[in-house]
Amino acid sequence: MAGGVGSNLGAGLGSQQQSNFTRPSQNVDQPVVPPSRGGENVNNAQKASQAAGNSEAAVEAVQIAERPKTRKLSSEDLSRTLLQNGIQPTGDAKEMASLMMRYGVELSRENFEELNRLTRGKKDSATMESAIIAKSKGVLDSGALDGLKGFLFENQHIAKQLASFQQASESFQKSLSAFQRLDSGLVTGLNALMTNFSDEIKKLLKKDSKDKIPDFRRNGLIKDVFSFIQLLRGIEEKHAKNADYKQLLSAFPKMKDAANRLLNNLMAQGIISKSSEQQLADVMETFSYWQIPNLLSKKPEEAKIDLLIKKESKKKGQESNSQKTKLIINLETPELGLLTMILTVFENKVWYVFNAEKESTVKQVAELQSDLRGRMAAKNYEMAGFQAIKKKIDIKKYMLPTFELDTIKRIDAEV
């Protein structure tokens, strides 16, 4: 028996057989009597044709019988594959292998060792899955692992992290004021920096006077927060042995912790938005991802919006077509519940599908159809389709598409 694991079935294995047709021998001692009717020749031709047909059917039957047998991947198959790679098929190893297959990561000893180093021996599901996601995106870093784990499994959304950073910065500034005499230049510089940060974050947590949602500079904010953390570390190293600065430096850890959590959140978004190194065969669409505070909520610091924009499968140098795309907007409020909007845009036409968790939200959205049509017309867009249905969408399937293990087949071929 020989076998392999794969998502595509191979060609059938079979041997071809050739039929031998023999003509009956004639007795030369007896006279050859010509047929009295032509029907006997016809019968002979039909018999020959039937014999040939039977032979072809037999060949086809043999070929079908010898094709590789396929079945669903079993736990024993997974254990055998792990052993072939020199890995003991423990429960943790099999769970990691299953996750690796779902995210398109090759089952190899090298990858297992790499993931074990990244997880630092931790075997919980959240850590393993976060590490495999990071590996699938080509980002092998402990900071990336921590960021993904907090973002995906610990509900550390962007609004919460921005509010936490804001509170920490206000507390940090109050602590700095007590050390003005110690080092006025340092304290003044840090205060000015914290004021700039505070102003920028306040803009992200509230709409402006024109009811406009502010721009979210994710990459710029990543650079700013990273530079700020490096600055604090540099100050700590410079004055670590100076007893006069001991009390001042005691305020740094809380500020760095809040900054690191915000940085991890922003980096996790970027990693999720990054294309996987191995594109899954059954994934037809991939999306760029952002998470922003939900300024439509009464408490923006406690709510968020997930925004996904379909990536264009473009050649190098070709710009994406903003007039032909798909957007997914996912939000949740106590009043509306979970609401996922899927917008398909083609030139100046837009198709809307609203998926709501609550029946009351479905009715409320349906009542706004006419108003939405008018608003889109004012912006030179035609509402080509509208649908409001009661359905809960798992946004993670769009953020991080995976391969369905039920579709993986085991191919067994007997040679």
Q: Can you tell me the distance from the alpha carbon of 11 to that of 413, in angstroms, rounded to the nearest whole number?
A: 10
Per-residue pLDDT of the chain (415 residues; tens, 9 = 90+): 444 334 333 333 333 344 333 344 444 444 444 444 445 555 555 555 565 556 666 655 555 555 555 556 677 878 888 888 888 888 888 888 889 888 989 888 899 989 989 988 788 899 999 999 999 999 888 888 989 999 999 877 898 899 999 999 999 999 998 888 888 899 999 999 999 888 888 888 776 655 566 677 888 899 999 999 999 999 999 999 999 999 999 999 999 999 999 999 999 999 999 988 876 666 678 899 999 988 877 777 778 899 999 987 654 444 456 678 899 999 988 888 899 999 999 988 999 999 999 999 999 999 999 999 999 999 999 999 999 999 999 999 999 988 876 655 554 443 3
Pair 13, 66: CB distance under 8 Å: yes
Structure tokens at 11: 């060609």
Q: Can you tell me the distance from the alpha carbon of 163 to that of 153, in angstroms, rounded to the nearest whole number?
A: 19
Nearest CA-CA partner of 188 in 199, 196, 177, 197 = 177
For the chain, domain boundaries = 72-154, 158-273, 287-399
Residue 384: the pLDDT is: 92
Residue 332: the pLDDT is: 87
Structure tokens at 131: 């590490």
DSSP 8-state class, residue 123: -
Please, which residues bridge with residue 344 across strands? 326, 351
Helix (H) or strand (E) holding 390: strand 382-390
Q: Can you tell me the distance from the alpha carbon of 75 to that of 95, in angstroms, rounded to the nearest whole number?
A: 10
Count CB-CB contacts under 10 A for residue 131.
Answer: 28
Pair 275, 286: CB distance under 8 Å: yes
DSSP 8-state class, residue 284: -
Q: Which residues contact 243 (CB under 8 A, 6 or more apart)?
A: none
Q: Are strands 409-413 and 382-390 parallel, antiparallel or unpaired?
A: unpaired
In the block, residue with structure tokens 């968790």: 357
Q: Can you tell me the distance from the alpha carbon of 325 to that of 344, in angstroms, rounded to the nearest whole number?
A: 6
Helix (H) or strand (E) holding 4: strand 2-6
Q: What would the CATH number be for the domain defined by 287-399? A: 3.30.750
Residue 330: the pLDDT is: 94
Report how far Cα 345 is from the mean position of its chain's Cα atoms. 22
Residue 1: the pLDDT is: 43
Residue 286: the pLDDT is: 86
What's the sign of the alpha-carbon dihedral 89, 92, 98, 102? Answer: negative
Structure tokens at 78: 């997974």
Residue 170 is which amino acid?
Answer: E
Could you give the dihedral angle defined by the CA atoms of residues 352, 274, 207 and 374, in that order, rounded to the nearest 10 degrees?
-20
